[in-house]
Amino acid sequence: DSVTLAFYIATDTAEQREQTHDIFKKLLAASQKKLAAGQRTRLQWNDGSVCCLMDQKGALLYCV
């Protein structure tokens, strides 16, 4: 199972916040299959990128 423990989204509108949160929920779900323990990845997103790191035990995913 996956659950969000904490998040902070600094966007201008509620719609942007909701879209961003939805994307991160999808990242969390996909990370269980795509990332091994200790692995990191960088994904292009709009004009920037998202960096994700799976912890050494494969239990926690960190994204910025």
pLDDT tens-digit series, residues 1-20: 789 999 999 988 999 999 99
* Model confidence at 40: pLDDT above 90: yes
Q: Which of 57, 60, 61 is nearest to 27 (CA)?
A: 61
Sheet holding 48-54, edge to edge: 40-45, 48-54, 61-63
The pLDDT value given to residue 63: 92
Question: 46's torsion region: left (phi>0), alpha (psi -120 to 50) or beta?
Answer: left
Question: Global pTM?
Answer: 0.80
